[in-house]
A and B are shown apart, each in its own frame.
Chain A
Amino acid sequence: MTEVAMRNGLVLAGILFSLGLTSLLVRRNLIFVLMSLEVMLNAAGLAFVVAGARWHQADGQIMFLFILAMAAAEVAVGLALAVEIYRRFKSLDVDKLSNMKG
């Protein structure tokens, strides 16, 4: 792979990460917040893969596998929490879940 290809890959990862972060900050629905997190995780994964390809190392792809596993765990816990929150508060609006303010 060439120098240019890696830059493109990293830029794409950056764009994806920014999109994820923006939607994390903008969306109020908890489901969308979780989805934005997934986008951000995948952006990070992409950066690992691109870098791994650039240095001809398998480490980048191994890291991506870790990220995938972590993302799966996170979604499992996160969705379970979302269900419980919805049961208790009848809402998924994160701004309304501010009972723990100091």
Chain B
Amino acid sequence: MLGLLWLIPALPFASALVLMLSGSRFPRKAATALGVGSIGISAVVTILVAVSFFTAPPPDHSYTQLLWTWINVGGFNPEIALRLDALSLVMVLVVTFVGFLIHVYSAEFMMEDEGYSRFFAYMNLFVASMITLLLGDNLLLLMLGWEGVGLCSYLLIGFWYREPANGHAARKAFVVTRVGDTLMLIGLMLLFTQLGTLQIHELMQRASEHWPAGSGYAVAAALLLLGGAVGKSAQLPLQVWLPDAMAGPTPTSALIHAATMVTAGVYLIARTHVLFSLAPAAQFAVALVGAATLLLAGFSALTQPDIKRALAYSTVSQIGYMFLALGVGAWQAALFHFFTHAFFKALLFLGAGVIINALHDEHNIFKMGGLRKELPVAFWTFLIAGCSVAGLPFLTAGFFSKDLIIWEAWSADHGHPGFWIAGMVGALLTSLYTFRLIFRVFFGPLGTPVTKRPGYTMTIPLMVLALFSFGAGYLKEPLLGFLHSALPATIEARAGGMTEAGSEAVAAVVFLVGLYFAYLFHLRKRSLAEAAVSNPVGSLLHRWWLADWGFDWVYDKVFVQPFIWAAQINKSDFIDAFYAGVARLADLFYRGLSRTESGRLRWYAAGVAVGSVVFLAMVLFR
């Protein structure tokens, strides 16, 4: 069964190729069958592979399938090889399963769109690239998938390309992640020149043999990889692209910009955890980035009026938790949070898609309200996902995964009470912004009237995801145990002063406090929220957080404007002037010489005669 591994990326890729080449010639039914079916079969194959992996684990808990050698030149021989171990298996399972549900949902969501088969072509290509990224045996193949998902992200953000703002958002996402990708590429080169291989398993072994803990190379390589991860996972300081990426279709936001692609950075760091363990400084930077991002994005999420942007900040914040977990050495906790986050965040986005569709493209939560009775399925599933992300104590998946991270942020080897406090404040913010959305959208007086109700193909994925958002938490112990073969367990070191139960109790209280304040400000006395925004300090903070802490403004002033200015100056640069001069000289010669072309035979004859005399004279009197 494990031999079928190659089919998992190959099926979506083949389907994407067919859909791309056929253009819009396919009827919608055929495009649906191909686009959704390929992911469905891929998911089934993944489950088969997973079952055989569980029942008869391959030796060393990893299985490598060598397809062919990619390049072989001067000792550099990356192979197209797929490697399955606990880490990649969990991620591939989530990607294909959640991806399949989102594809089913999209079949109805995108039905009216003229770019229907184009949409599925991009989505399938995305899934294929993502699986390549996850299963890649060496960092170069991983990079191929990494760039592939970046390309698909770009294509899908700018899917409705007739709107210039969407094209701008797509370019922004591409350029900002490119900054990270460049750092990562440099990191790859550093690793190859120093250790002589890019095969991940081999690389990690050689790194721990050749580099002592804290050596300069290890720190540099880890920091460069962190740069790539920060760009892809929208962490500080490259988080600016993700909120704008919401310009794409909502299923895209759910699949790419919430559940899967943006967690590629988490995967990269987990995959190269040996390297990060060798570089405590880089690992501390990971934790710091995570903690700062989860707080900043949490505050920004509080102020967004656009439902999708609020969810995007929530995604940034939740990935911040994963980075925090990676940074303190709680590798398994990070993966567990990825696992639960994929379900509830995909569900939140799909729910938002139902709402936006129902309200005729209304994104503003302040114009919504009272949808509880109008869209019951969307309400209940959104509520479950919301409770999960906010961490409804002792029931939901989000509570288990987030509180594991918060607890280990204190107790782990590299933990610190400061990280615990950041995590707790983040949890408060999460509870606040999630219930702000729920109270604004589903409660209160009816805002915009509902014009369209979702069909079964949209509601069934919602219900399945809701089941997982609720139940995935109970998979905690088996999942962590399963991951043990790929990721080391957290080293508990600093348990003093806090117990896990105590941390959970505080988290529960924090959840309730957030819920109460959200209730107070956004349902019972909405005038309080307006009052908070209208006083000078509140208004200043509101504007600051709404504008993502001014990051866009700073980047615009520091990078974009000077670049445009330089480009303007360089529009008529020296090199251009030289080539224009050559052209002008040629033109001058042409005008002079064409004057001699008088059509008069006798002038020509005279010219020949004079010319011969001159040449003869040159030969004779030289």
A-to-B contact residues, CB < 8 Å: 21, 24-25, 28, 33, 94-95, 97-102
Contacts and interface: CB of A to CB of B under 8 A. Distances in A.
Interface stretch (B139-147, B219-227, B365-373, B593-601): B593-601
Nearest to A37: B605
B622 interface: no
B610 to A, nearest CB: 10
Contacts of A94: 600-602
Contacts of A28: 602
B606 interface: yes
Contacts of A102: 594-599
B554 interface: no
Contacts of A97: 599, 601
User: 7 closest A-B pairs (Cβ-Cβ)?
Assistant: A102-B597, A101-B599, A98-B599, A102-B594, A94-B601, A100-B599, A101-B598
B583 interface: no
- DSSP class of B's interface residues: helix, strand, loop or mixed? helix
A44 to B, nearest CB: 12
A100 B604 CA distance: 12
B599 A24 contact: no
B620 interface: no
Contacts of B602: 24-25, 28, 94-95
Contact of B609 (A25, A33, A98, A100): A25
Given A25-B606, A25-B609, A101-B600, 12 more contacts: A21-B609, A24-B602, A28-B602, A95-B600, A95-B601, A95-B602, A98-B598, A98-B599, A98-B600, A99-B599, A100-B599, A101-B599
A94 to B, nearest CB: 4
Contacts of B594: 102
B104 to A, nearest CB: 72
Contacts of B601: 33, 94-95, 97
A48 B595 CA distance: 38
21 contacts: A21-B609, A24-B602, A24-B605, A25-B602, A25-B605, A25-B609, A33-B601, A94-B601, A94-B602, A95-B600, A95-B601, A97-B599, A98-B599, A98-B600, A99-B599, A101-B597, A101-B598, A101-B599, A102-B596, A102-B598, A102-B599
A44 B47 CA distance: 99
A93 B215 CA distance: 95
Contacts of B600: 94-95, 98, 101
Contacts of A99: 599
A37 B333 CA distance: 103
A55 B601 CA distance: 38
Interface string B454-478: 0000000000000000000000000
A33 B606 CA distance: 13
A101 B603 CA distance: 11
A95 B596 CA distance: 15
B31 to A, nearest CB: 61
Nearest to B606: A25
Contacts of A101: 597-600
Contacts of B596: 102
Contacts of B606: 25
Contacts of A98: 598-600
Nearest to A24: B605
A81 B24 CA distance: 65
A97 B598 CA distance: 10
